[in-house]
Each structure stands twice: as structure tokens, then as C-alpha cells.
Amino acid sequence: MEKIDPALPEWVFKQASLGPGIKVEGENNLHTRFWYYLTMCCPLIFEKYVVVLHPYWINYEVKKLIKAGSIIPNDLKKKYEFESLNWVDFFQNYGKKFDFDTALLKQEEIRKELLNPQWPEYVWFPAEGDLENKNLIAVRNAIKDTYGDVEVNYYYCLLKTRDIESEIIYKGKLSQLEQLWAKDDIRDNPTAIFPNSKEWCVVTDYDLPYTYIGGSNELIQKLLESKNLDIFSIEPRFAGL
């Protein structure tokens, strides 16, 4: 694993770099957002695409105590752990049926319910800009099964570096992913992972609670078969301008 020139190659630069690099031929709203950001965040040069939804988090112990009317000191709250929940199960908890096409609309309905009268301390919405470790491992394993233990670029945008002064790219094998978690000059998981061969890419925009992956039919099928991912096929609807 070595640190290299942080300049992104042209084919992924506009999609992975911080900030909107592409204008999209379409409107960004709750009906279109998954597809709008697919065009903005993932190079449209692949056979197939998927989106991995980051999990919700619920602290069931704190929820139970609050519902019972207990007042919980902050030091005690820290003793209870949050558990991850996929979108289908989270929606079901709030009486909503999950459908990918309307997921963001239903999510907004749930968000408004949770805000009334104030946000509950036992619910966290999906993390923006950071794919969970276990989910990233599942993605890595599918890529490794398809292409072997190839050398890739692990890119961290400016806001994911400790000094927030420069972007960082580490080059290393897919099997070396876990080594990144011990490094002190970067935070969270990569903004983008990609090989120089341009066969696939993984992009987690800093502001989004989901991750886009583009690649071959074979890779996408392996990803869709993974039991550790909240993952859905997605096809481009909008062109980039």
C-alpha cells in the first residue's frame, strides 16, 4: 500500500471529485434523485450499475426505556449500542412498504413523522459519504471474486483527509483494504475505488447516504447476490451535460 499522486484520472475525475462536476439533463427531486446522482457520481461507461443503500441505525434499548417514560443520563446512553437496519425493515417499522422507485418519498414522510414533536434519540438516518465497513468488505469480495486481487486506487476527497489540505490516493491490492482503517491521515472509507483498467468503479459521494457501483454484467450479478448489501439495480435515466 503506497500513497501516490492524488490527481484523479480524467475518466472518473468529474464524478468522484468533491462538488458537482457534471450538469445533469434532468431535475433533482425526490422522484428522480437516485438516477440524477447516478449520472453525477458514476461514469456512465459500464454495462450495468447498482446503488448500495447505507443502513439506518436504531438503539432498541434506549427506545424501550424512552417509550416507558424513563429519563436516561447521557453517560448511560453510551452503554447501549445502535444496530443497523436495512431500508425494507426500517420502512416496515414505520408502517411503510418499501419500493425502490418511491423510497426517497417514503423516507421523507418518515423523517417528518420522526420530527414531530422532536427527533428521537434512538434513531439515526443512513450515514452520508461513508459506506459501512462490512458493506464495503462485501463489495470488495465480489470485485475480488470477479477480477482477482487486482491493484486499485483508494481515493479520499479533501473532506476525508485529516488535515483537509489535499486529496489522497492510496494504491494497493483489494485484499489490503482493511489496512486503510489504521492510517491516521484519512477518515472513514474511500470516496472512490477504481482500477486503472477502467473495468469498474465504486463512488460514495460525500453528501449522499448511498454508494454507486458500475461494472460488468458478471460483477453486478455477484453484487446483487450478496446477502450483506442493501443493493438495487439502477439504469441511467439522465445524460450528463
Average pLDDT of the chain? 94
The C-alpha cell at 155 is 481515493
Q: Distance between CA 136 and CA 109 in Å, rounded?
A: 29
Q: Distance between CA 108 and CA 33 in Å, rounded?
A: 13
**Statement: residue 79 has pLDDT above 70:** no
pLDDT in tens, 155-181: 999 999 998 889 999 999 999 999 999
Q: Distance between CA 156 and CA 158 in Å, rounded?
A: 7
pTM of model > 0.85: yes
50-to-45, 90, 94, 96, 98 alpha-carbon distances in Å: 13, 21, 26, 23, 17
pLDDT in tens, 15-40: 999 888 899 999 999 999 999 999 99
